[in-house]
Structure 1
């Protein structure tokens, strides 16, 4: 026996490494967007206030051309993430928390449409950031969804061994995972949105679904009310909610796929057992000297033909 043995290598948790890389990538994107867009946002805010006062002082009546220019100005301001309401911009769209939230919505392909980079450097960086960030996001979501699925399956196996009813426990565990996800990602967040945004519960639930499903209409977006003072943790918390909520949806999709595959296997197994049972009955009848009637032979031949086609 050798006096010295090779030390066993500790397995590297791939999911944890992906999670660290994912958040580091988001921090990198938030830092770059913050550096490129924050100064432009301040200049835009000053120009907004100046344009407002000039319109109020000089344009007492507007013709059609002036009105069209004003509407285009409002649309441009909205796309750049600023607001014409109030005496100043308290949104801080391109602050670090705002830039981090924009990074999350970019690589998760939500894309509300109410915000986009206005500088040339910000647009070029956004292209490359999304080019590498979207595949990274898909890999991480798939990984987290698989880990959640493994956790549910292991819990079902442990409870199934103790109870002795594996199918019932598996269905119960899957139902608990679905209900827990509905509670954490759809039923509780609207309460937070109602307190922070002033929305109704129905509007908060609508925003949660549109966001996690990556539809992203942009009619409801957090942190866009200039009359509200949002804490820094608010957008970061919503970013984490988006990440794990989309991973939970991936888990639900995996559970549905497994359910469909299991139901298909059960149907094929039942059909095979029924065909084998009929074959045994025919053999027993022949051995006992009671051959099947012509109608029975036609029915059995039809069932055997259908069985061979299903097996093929």
Structure 2
């Protein structure tokens, strides 16, 4: 009936489009809810894992620390418990402000190299938390410094990532034209870029941290990923051991590693995001294509039944109900 009239057909097709859009919108809501549920479940599983692994260690450490405190007060009765508590709080606060007490000397971390590393951790949003400004003027300056520095850092990371990606694409194009193997060259260059990035930014830097910081390889790898992912817990930070002498170039090299490593890891994370989004879009596209194919088959059968060659049979079918009347 809708195909008979031009105006009727236009109205019917418009209704079909609006119904399809409404149906797609209704289907996107359960998908979002499912994604939200998966996100919450993932967080709950991670919380349970950390609680099970870190909770007992924390409780045992706290009990051991309290026991040492009471033993100190029992062995040295001249000490005042409240004064000892205040001293411990001041030491912790001084450590947070970048001051390390060692014997009769104090080691500050607000030299120019340390300040440069703090600036890098601020604009990259790593924020280790081991070093923070204590004066009001420095805190206000840090706000404006990060306000303009974070967008500048994002723009620079985006540009570096684009240069890396364009370099990989140019290598793939060059190899594809040389060996007449476009798809294979693209897969080969991307694999080589991934392996090279893993070596330069995640696998080799822990060896440097092991040699200079005295960490294990696992600790260095953990620090590398936590830093490049801008998580920045602050449990492991370079240049913090007062018993070690660090080279002058050390923090500068690490700052460059952070900059290029974040750009590389951002490309990997964006690739994972695109794969996840494309997988859901692919599933919806397959469902949509299957429905379109079914509709086309139905429409094709209807058009075939109304073809000129079948006109006599159509007339017969049309006259059959008329006969008994």
* TM above 0.5: yes
Match of 1:208 in 2: 224
Aligned to 2:259: 243
| 1:129 paired to 2:145 | yes
| CA deviation string 1:240-288 (max 9, x = no partner) | 1100000111222344456567776799599969959x96xx89x999x
Structure 1 stretch 263-272 or stretch 246-255: which is displaced more?
263-272
Q: Does the CA-based 8 Å contact 1:149-1:255 persist in structure 2?
A: no
Whether the aligned pair in 2 keeps the contact of 1:86 and 1:226 (CA below 8 Å) is no
Residue 64 (1) aligns with residue 81 (2) = yes
State the partner residue of 1:186. 202
- Closer, same or farther: CA 272–133 of 1 in aligned 2, 3 Å: same
Aligned length: 229
Shift in alpha-carbon separation, 1:233–1:111, aligned structure 2, 3 A? same
Q: Displacement of 1:143 after TM fit?
A: 1.1
State the alpha-carbon separation in 2 of the partners of residues 150 and 270 from structure 1. Answer: 34
Do structure 1's residue 140 and structure 2's residue 156 form an aligned pair? Answer: yes
Separation (CA, whole Å) in 1 of partners of 2:269 and 2:183: 19
**Residues 149 and 254, structure 1, Cα contact 8 Å, conserved in 2:** no
Summarize the alignment of residues 87-98 of structure 1 with structure 2, pairs less than 5 Å apart.
87-90=104-107, 92-98=108-114
SS at match of 1:83: strand
- TM superposition shift of 1:89: 3.5
Partner of residue 234, structure 1: 250
Q: Distance in 2 between matches of 1:124 and 1:96?
A: 19
Deviation at 1:120, TM superposition (A): 2.3
Distance 1:159 1:271, change over 3 A: farther
Distance 1:199 1:242, change over 3 A: same
Instruction: Compute the displacement of 1:65 (Å).
Output: 1.3
Q: How far did 1:238 drift?
A: 0.6
CA distance in 2, matches of 1:271, 1:173: 34
SS in 2 for 1:232: coil
Tell me which of 83, 87, 92 is aligned to 1:75.
92
Q: Would the alpha carbon gap of residues 162 and 82 (structure 1) be closer, same or farther in structure 2, given more than 3 Å must change? A: same
Tell whether 2:125 aligns with 1:109. Answer: yes
> Which protein, 1 or 2, shows the higher relative CO under an 8 Å CA cutoff with sep ≥ 6?
1
Equivalences for 1:1-312 in 2 at 5 Å? 61-90=78-107, 92-256=108-272, 275=293
Q: Contact 1:110–1:211 at 8 Å: present in 2 too?
A: yes
Equivalent-residue separation in structure 1 for 2:140 and 2:287 (angstroms): 59
1:218 aligns to what SS in structure 2?
coil
**Residues 152 and 177, structure 1, Cα contact 8 Å, conserved in 2:** yes
With structure 1 as the length reference, what TM-score do the two structures score?
A: 0.64
Give the distance between the partners of 2:86 and 2:269, measured in 1 at CA.
48
Q: Could you say what the CA RMSD is over the residues aligned between the two structures, in angstroms?
A: 3.2
Q: Specify every segment of 5 or more residues in structure 1 that has no aligned partner in the other structure, as ranges.
A: 1-58, 290-312
The farther-off stretch of 239-248 and 78-87 is 78-87
Instruction: Please give the secondary structure, in 2, of the residue aligned with 1:222.
Output: coil
